[in-house]
Amino acid sequence: MKLKLKIWRQKNSTSKGSIVNYDVDNISPNMSFLEMLDQLNSTLIKNDESPVAFDHDCREGICGSCSLYINGQAHGPDRAITTCQLHMRKFKDGDTIFIEPFRATSFPVIKDLIVDRSAFDRIQHAGGYISVNTSGNTQDANSIPINKTDADNAFDAATCIGCGACVATCKNSSAMLFVGAKISQYALLPQGKVEASDRVTKMIDQMDLEGFGNCSNTGACEVECPKGISLDNIARMNRELMKSKVL
Amino acid sequence: MNKITYSLNYRKPKGEYLPDEEVLICVRYYHKANNAAPKIIKKSTGVKCKLKDWDTNWHKKECRSPVKSSDKDFKSKNSLIEQTAKNFEQYLIQIQKTPELKYSPKLKSNQPDGVLKDKWTNHKNKINLVNPANKRLIDIIVVGTGLAGGSAAATLAELGYNVKAFCFQDSPRRAHSIAAQGGINAAKNYQGDGDSTYRLFYDTVKGGDYRSRESNVYRLAEVSTNIIDQCVAQGVPFARDYGGLLDNRSFGGVLVSRTFYAKGQTGQQLLLGAYSAMNRQIGRGKIKMYNRHEMLDVVLVDGKARGIITRNLITGAVERHSAHAVVLGSGGYGNVFYLSTNAMGSNVTAAWKAHKRGAYFANPCFTQIHPTCIPVSGDHQSKLTLMSESLRNDGRIWVPNIKEDAISIREGKITPLDILEENRDYFLERRYPAFGNLVPRDVASRAAKERCDAGFGVNATGEAVYLDFAAAIIRYGKEEAHINGEDENNETLVNKLGTAVIKKKYGNLFQMYEKIVDQNPYKTPMMIYPAVHYTMGGIWVDYNLMTTIPGLYAIGEANFSDHGANRLGASALMQGLADGYFVLPYTIGDYLSDDISTGPIPTDTAEFENAEDEAIKKLNFFINNKGKHSVDFFHKKLGKIMWNKCGMARNSKDLNEAIKEISDLRNLFWNEVKVPGSADEFNEELAKAGRVADFLELGELFAKDALSREESCGGHFRDEHQTPEGEAVRNKDYQFVSAWEYKGDPKDAILHKEELNYNDIEVKERSYK
Amino acid sequence: MSVFFNTSIARKISMALSAIFLMVFLLQHFAINFTSVFSSDTFNEISHFMGTNPLVQFVLQPILIIGVIFHFVMGFILEFINHRSSKVKYAYNNGSANSSWMSRNMIWSGLAILSFMLLHFADFWFPEIDAKFIQGDWEGGKIMVDGILTGEYRYFTELQHKFSYAPRVIFYCIAFCFLSLHLMHGFTSAFQSMGSTIGRKKVLLNLSYAYSICIPLGFVFIALYHFFNH
């Protein structure tokens, strides 16, 4: 396949970036999207041009490193996958592909397609945990039975990979799906209920401090989320906040 | 054949000598045992003669005197030479009589004495501790934030130490432990199927083909139950049954269900648990987190590990960090094969730099090849995708038993569905009736390779076998139909119900497969092929997890201690968390108790400066080299050599070739590598160059280790050592750990052996028939 | 209270609360107006009651005004914050791939409704205030003759008169289209913001469509009915 790529290039966080056009040839439909970029980079290196920087690591859709806004969608046109799992068979010969970094004021660009998502980490530092010591003297794991539905819902919320697609795709750059998922995971489990009220306040405060926008329930995040995290988690977070403020 | 000869000790090319120049004469002892490589030992006689006085034909004469009579002192010189040769011969006879010291005194495993099951408790009771007030005065560096590093950092910080944690990813949550799918073992015996600490210990040692340290493994089995309690308390959402209690599944190589899991994302959930524990400490200020930092070197002060040199991957700044102890949790080195299931960034650099500074590297050749990976599709492939071993619980592995059928499939003329039941070879069930498709990973991988090598492989490349769920779909479908009181003989219904069950169990894996291969695995069998997955070898550590460098610790996959020659499924997560949560935080106190009054370690010393200079020099070298080929070019080549010659089956010819080829490739790399950009910016190629440089050294040591281990055990299979049926033959003489000491070039590495004793387990032939 | 409004989620919740309040108001507004189609007397009676009952006039009406203003002001504040959070725009964004046009353009449909509101106030509310508080007409246009109120209420006549002007009717119809779009997202969104997942259940989705189509359509019908039947 032959493709025209329109890629955002930006030398570093302070410089101004722009879209640069590249042509690539001999793209196999079995390639993953990142392998296509690998091929572009190897050509660029050969021609003494600087390769396109992009985040990637596990390349199996679980580490959450890869990002990319491809043809106007976070992680590209396919659903329930990350960019590394997107295959070139989703494109046609001669297609033009826009490749941009995830955009949000809270995700400043570091270089080319790489953005700084440490805001997510800081939200978690604020309260994304259960305060239990790792002494090994905790009670037996089976001493608190947990209703299977709650356990499954907590798991579904916990599968978030922290890639930031929800923020990138949200017209308001809201991080509520991410934060909602984390709050939900703990709110659904008996272990997490003890600090639930404190946690929801702290995490939301940090989220606001980081400058993420407000949720307007467009639902785009849920659609683009590689792990299919449900919008229900945002509702649950809202409920948790009301509980903590009102009760 | 052994012989003694005389020769001149030329210091420059022969032709450049003038006839009147004097050259030193030496004795050479040429030795060659049956299978070993020839050895030449050289000794100077201290006698010199002019070139023109040297008789090149001395060995043809009866007197065998090399100095011609033209030399005025020829008599005394010749007799001196003769005497030296005689003395030398005597000496050689003498040293051959004294048996070679088999086990190295340098490797002190520090295993506690006593009964196996009490060792860990007794050890904890005896070792020194640091009091809470003093812990505040002590800094610890943790490199890597996977299960081992992350859990260690969190626990150490919680105990009161000041922790600095480093990872090259943009967040500690992205470490590759996250990709572990299947589960984590623990001897909880919740299923009441006879599991116990001893059985987990037994399975692990046996699974590791008796090449792991007994006391370490027992400790691992012992603390495994704590891990589950800990993780549940942290909010890890393990799978539960309808009664609300924890669910278990069974994994390859064992006969009990002891694996706890969270769908196909157990590693992710456990890592996020450790990450949350870290977050709590980061929030408290006890952990200082350095994301996007790569460790370039470990700094030794007075022989102790006292800090590291890092590069900030965003700004390119090279930085010094000091601490009272350094912990490496930097994972395995599977990426030496280029294609592996490891993450793109996984590398050996931290471990290798420690090795270069004096940490012994143990059993590098013990690599696990995982049987259920998605086959390679082409040259563009950048990494391999693993599918959980749990698939083997329900999938049956087969290839056609008629070669023509296999060829037709490869050419795309027929599909697997066209192959009749009687023309399918369920080779694992055939060869290993007791364990069937659930044999350990190494056995399953090799069996698949054997079939493909014999020409029965499928996929266009011929390098794949089928993993078929059709039987499981029918079995589950009938069960469901029976439960619902519906017609068990209605094929469509049974198919529908069975598919639903399989979807529930493996839905995410099937979806992943379909995305990558573009085939529907519910309808047509999956294709799988083995791929490099885990490295059992790693930095040598003692019972306290300390390396041969005082103050330097290695945990998780980075060390070698617990899995021997092969790791059982769902044990990697267990080991990482055991080391990080429950072992290292105690044992490190024993060492640090001496450091309570040391005070902060300054970074403006010569040791730090030198290490930093060295690191900068290397970075600048890469930038300025302006060679011809990109880093990946060399990495791919290295990977091909490793896979073809040090892969699933090895032999001395291939290994010798590999050593030579890797060494040549390394030279080529240093001459011709091309790294674009500069060192003071985000430069992935530069980071990769440093990593591949280390892989190129490790690869050679890997091959050397594989060559030196004259046996087949676990993940290490030597063609020379197998039964006529192709089963591995272990060699009792190799019941030791090979720990290699760095001496410059990998070929000069010195082997140290640590003896392995099994007092509480009978060393048996590992049979899964 | 101010602390409460400092968090993003509290702002969202208050937005939802005011929305639900306005939707209830809209329903009753529609119900009353719809009576004008079949019975001018009923319409007049209810209008007069609403217009002169002190509870409605001095308690509910101020609350409604505050509600309306709050909803608009908060809408603008949220839009401002959201805009600040996503300053750099994509060169190419395919928003329709994952969300509805309505959900992405609440600010525009909201602005359209605001401009309608201004006209609506000028048409009905200001004259009403003028009649009652400045002219002092508390009898809905009836005149006291010999101690007995006589004549017709003015409400229905005024209504008919307003809707006899074609451009106004057209403008109203367009505005109701925007109201429909606004409601289509807003109805369920309010429930979601309030922390209820019920907003995403099928029943409520259908109810949402029914509400957001029927009510504006009903208003359109009323306007057209009076345009053609005056």
pLDDT in tens, B672-682: 999 999 999 99
Is residue A103 located within the same domain as residue A207?
no
Is residue A133 located within the same domain as residue A234?
yes
Q: Write out chain B residues lying below 8 Å of A57, CB-based.
A: 169, 174, 176, 343-345
Is residue A100 located within the same domain as residue A211?
no
Flag if A57 and B380 touch (Cβ within 8 Å): no
Using CA atoms, how far apart are residues A166 and B33, in angstroms rounded to an integer?
A: 67
DSSP lists the bridge partners of residue B308 as B298, B321
Flag if C98 and A100 touch (Cβ within 8 Å): no
Is residue A125 located within the same domain as residue A153?
yes
Please answer whether residues B428 and B436 qualify as being in contact, where contact means their C-beta atoms are separated by less than 8 angstroms: yes
> Which residues 141-160 of A are in CB contact (within 8 Å) with B?
141-142, 144-148, 151-152, 154-155, 158-159
How do A96-100 and A3-9 pair as beta strands?
A: parallel
Using CA atoms, how far apart are residues C182 and C117, in angstroms rounded to an integer?
A: 14
Average the pLDDT over A54-81 and give the result. 95
Flag if A141 and B246 touch (Cβ within 8 Å): yes
What pLDDT is recorded for position B61? 82
> How close are the terminal C-alpha atoms of chain C, in Å?
50
- Is A63 within 8 Å of chain B by CB? yes
pLDDT in tens, B344-396: 999 999 999 999 999 999 999 999 999 999 999 888 999 999 988 889 989 99
* Higher-confidence position of C230 and B159: B159
Using CA atoms, how far apart are residues B149 and B141, in angstroms rounded to an integer?
A: 10
Q: Write out chain A residues lying below 8 Å of B246, CB-based.
A: 141-142
Flag if B179 and A46 touch (Cβ within 8 Å): no
Q: Say what angle helices C166-193 and C106-120 make with each other, to 10 degrees.
A: 130
Please answer whether residues A242 and C195 qualify as being in contact, where contact means their C-beta atoms are separated by less than 8 angstroms: yes
What pLDDT is recorded for position B35? 60
Does pLDDT of B624 surpass 50?
yes
Residue A238 is nearest to which of C82, C93, C194, comparing CB atoms? C194
Phi, psi (degrees; rounded to nearest 5) at B76: -65, -40
Please answer whether residues B359 and B553 qualify as being in contact, where contact means their C-beta atoms are separated by less than 8 angstroms: no
- In the three-class reduction of DSSP (H, G, I as helix; E, B as strand; rest coil), residue B358 is classed as coil
Is residue A13 located within the same domain as residue A82?
yes
- Is A43 within 8 Å of chain B by CB? no
Flag if A236 and C197 touch (Cβ within 8 Å): yes
- Residue B745's Cβ-side half-sphere holds a number of Cα atoms within 13 Å equal to 9
Asked which of A111, A138, A161 is the last residue of a domain, the reply is A111
Please answer whether residues B355 and B705 qualify as being in contact, where contact means their C-beta atoms are separated by less than 8 angstroms: no
Is residue A80 located within the same domain as residue A137?
no
Q: What angle do CA B745, B647, B454 make, to 5 degrees?
A: 150
CA distance B270 to chain A (A): 11
Please answer whether residues B302 and B505 qualify as being in contact, where contact means their C-beta atoms are separated by less than 8 angstroms: no
> Which residues 90-119 of B are in CB contact (within 8 Å) with A?
none
- Check residue B673 and report its DSSP letter: B
Q: Write out chain A residues lying below 8 Å of C13, CB-based.
A: 238, 241-242
Using alpha carbons, list the distances in angstroms from residue A161 to B172, B383, C140: 12, 20, 64
What pLDDT is recorded for position B36? 63
The neighbour count for residue B42, using CB atoms within 10 Å, is 12
The pTM of the full predicted model, rounded to 2 decimals, is 0.90
Q: Do chains B and A touch (3 or more CB pairs under 8 A)?
A: yes
> Per residue, what are the HEC states of chain C?
CHHHHHCHHHHHHHHHHHHHHHHHHHHHHHHHHHHHHHCHHHHHHHHHHHHHCHHHHHHHHHHHHHHHHHHHHHHHHHHHHHHHHCCCCCCCCCHHHCCCHHHHCHHHHHHHHHHHHHHHHHHHHHHHHHHHHHCCCCCCCCEEECCEEECCCCHHHHHHHHCCCHHHHHHHHHHHHHHHHHHHHHHHHHHHHCCCHHHHCHHHHHHHHHHHHHHHHHHHHHHHHHHHHC
- Comparing CA positions, the residue from B539, B535, B504, B534 lying closest to residue B522 is B504
Report chain A's mean pLDDT, rounded to a whole number.
95
DSSP letters along B100-163, please?
P--S-TT-------S-GGGHHHHHHHHS----HHHHTT-EEEEE--SHHHHHHHHHHHHHT-EE
Using CA atoms, how far apart are residues B233 and A134, in angstroms rounded to an integer?
A: 9
Average the pLDDT over C65-78 and give the result. 95
Q: Write out chain A residues lying below 8 Å of C185, CB-based.
A: 217-218
Residue B235 is nearest to which of A117, A145, A192, comparing CB atoms? A192
Average the pLDDT over C11-19 and give the result. 94
- Check residue A216 and report its DSSP letter: -
Residue A100 is nearest to which of C6, C8, C90, comparing CB atoms? C90
Using CA atoms, how far apart are residues B30 and B1, in angstroms rounded to an integer?
A: 8
Alpha helices in B311-370 (DSSP H): 349-356
pLDDT in tens, B2-28: 778 888 888 888 888 888 888 888 888
Number of domains composing chain A:
2
- Comparing CA positions, the residue from B692, B711, B700, B710 lying closest to residue B748 is B700
What pLDDT is recorded for position B95? 61
Which residues 6+ apart lie within 8 Å of A111 measured at CB?
A: A10, A11, A12, A13, A53, B314, B681, B682
Amino acid at B346: S
Is residue A168 located within the same domain as residue A199?
yes
CA distance B626 to chain A (A): 10
Q: What angle do CA B123, B127, B129 make, to 5 degrees?
A: 135
- Is A218 within 8 Å of chain C by CB? yes
Is residue A95 located within the same domain as residue A124?
no
Flag if A216 and C86 touch (Cβ within 8 Å): no
Does pLDDT of B279 surpass 80?
yes
Percent of chain B topping pLDDT 70: 98
Does pLDDT of B340 surpass 90?
yes
What pLDDT is recorded for position A26? 94
- Check residue A141 and report its DSSP letter: G
Percent of chain A topping pLDDT 90: 95
Flag if B381 and A48 touch (Cβ within 8 Å): no
Average the pLDDT over B412-430 and give the result. 94
Suggest the residue from B151, B155, B158, B171 to mutate for an interface test with chain A (most A CBs closer than 10 A).
Answer: B171
Suggest the residue from A123, A217, A229 to mutate for an interface test with chain C (most C CBs closer than 10 A).
Answer: A217
Report chain C's mean pLDDT, rounded to a whole number.
91
Range of the domain at A212: 117-246
- Is A227 within 8 Å of chain B by CB? no
Q: What pLDDT band is residue B765 in, cutting at 50, 70 and 90?
A: confident
- Is A108 within 8 Å of chain B by CB? no
- Is A59 within 8 Å of chain C by CB? no
CA distance A135 to chain C (A): 36
User: Which residue of C lies nearest to A167 if distances are taken between CA atoms?
Assistant: C86
Flag if C185 and A235 touch (Cβ within 8 Å): no
Q: Write out chain C residues lying below 8 Å of A184, CB-based.
A: none
Q: Write out chain C residues lying below 8 Å of A232, CB-based.
A: 197, 200
- Is A190 within 8 Å of chain C by CB? no
The neighbour count for residue B454, using CB atoms within 10 Å, is 12
Among B241-255, B289-303, C174-188, which is the least confidently predicted range?
B241-255
User: Which residue of A lies nearest to B190 if distances are taken between CA atoms?
Assistant: A142
pLDDT in tens, B131-162: 999 999 999 999 999 999 999 999 999 999 99
Suggest the residue from B238, B340, B383 to mutate for an interface test with chain A (most A CBs closer than 10 A).
Answer: B383
Which residues 6+ apart lie within 8 Å of B63 measured at CB?
A: B78
Among B227-241, C102-116, C163-177, C187-201, which is the least confidently predicted range?
C187-201
Amino acid at B9: N
Instruction: List chains touching C (3+ CB pairs under 8 A).
Output: A
CA distance C166 to chain A (A): 36
- In the three-class reduction of DSSP (H, G, I as helix; E, B as strand; rest coil), residue B390 is classed as helix
Q: What pLDDT band is residue C201 in, cutting at 50, 70 and 90?
A: confident
Q: What pLDDT band is residue B94 in, cutting at 50, 70 and 90?
A: low
Asked which of A90, A111, A132 is the last residue of a domain, the reply is A111
Using CA atoms, how far apart are residues C67 and A216, in angstroms rounded to an integer?
A: 19
- Comparing CA positions, the residue from A167, A204, A165 lying closest to residue A182 is A204
Q: For tokens 């440093």, name the residue.
A: B690
Does pLDDT of B55 surpass 90?
no
Average the pLDDT over B566-579 and give the result. 95
* Higher-confidence position of B89 and B759: B759
Q: Write out chain B residues lying below 8 Å of A37, CB-based.
A: none
Q: Token digits for B644?
A: 């073809």
What pLDDT is recorded for position C1? 45
Q: State which fold the C2-87+99-229 domain adopts.
A: 3 helical TM bundles of succinate and fumarate reductases (1.20.1300)
pLDDT in tens, A176-202: 999 999 999 999 999 999 999 999 999
- Is A24 within 8 Å of chain B by CB? no
Using CA atoms, how far apart are residues B189 and B461, in angstroms rounded to an integer?
A: 44
CA distance B732 to chain A (A): 38
Phi, psi (degrees; rounded to nearest 5) at B615: -65, -45
What pLDDT is recorded for position B68? 87
- Comparing CA positions, the residue from B223, B679, B256, B647 lying closest to residue B453 is B647
- Choosing among 2.40.37.10, 1.20.58.100, 3.40.430.10, 3.40.50.720, the CATH entry for B604-729 is 1.20.58.100
Q: What residues does each domain of chain B span? A: 3-97, 387-531, 604-729
Burial class (CB in 10 A: 0-12, 13-18, 19+), A108: middle
Q: Write out chain B residues lying below 8 Å of A146, CB-based.
A: 240, 244
Residue C82 is nearest to which of A73, A172, A242, comparing CB atoms? A172
Q: Do chains A and C touch (3 or more CB pairs under 8 A)?
A: yes
Q: What pLDDT band is residue C174 in, cutting at 50, 70 and 90?
A: very high
Among B92-106, B568-582, C51-65, which is the least confidently predicted range?
B92-106
